Homo-oligomer: A and B are copies of this chain.
């Protein structure tokens, strides 16, 4: 999720009915690269073990090659890392988000910002 003042922008890539990439999956790839383990990455993001693995499984089924690979030693024991394609997809997705974020200084956004209240009027 990109936040620019009151604007929130969300970019998702769909493969059939499944989300191949989006803000949550990109954050998970970042966390796996940093933590070296799927379960540690999930913990760092406050996600359940099951949900973390479901997201990884979906990513690995939606692209032409898997994005995450687990090392020998079992699912919990051997660690995990991004594949070459996983690294590439993460870079491209962040670049896509950056392109989306560049509308921050566009005239329509400035016009919308100028007309919005700071906080909503209370409901009556």
A-side residues, CB < 8 A to B, are 6-16, 18, 20-21, 57-58, 61-64, 85, 88-89, 92-93, 95-96, 99-100, 103, 106-109, 111-112, 115-123
Contacts and interface: CB of A to CB of B under 8 A. Distances in A.
| Copies held by the complex | 2
A15 B117 contact: yes
Given A88-B115, A96-B112, A120 B62 contact: yes
Given A11-B9, A14-B6, A14-B8, A92 B117 contact: no
A122 to B, nearest CB: 7
Contacts of A115: 63-64, 85, 88-89, 92
Given A9-B9, A20-B6, A58 B15 contact: no
Given A61-B117, A95-B107, 13 more contacts: A7-B14, A8-B13, A13-B112, A13-B116, A15-B116, A21-B112, A61-B123, A63-B116, A64-B115, A88-B115, A92-B108, A95-B108, A99-B106
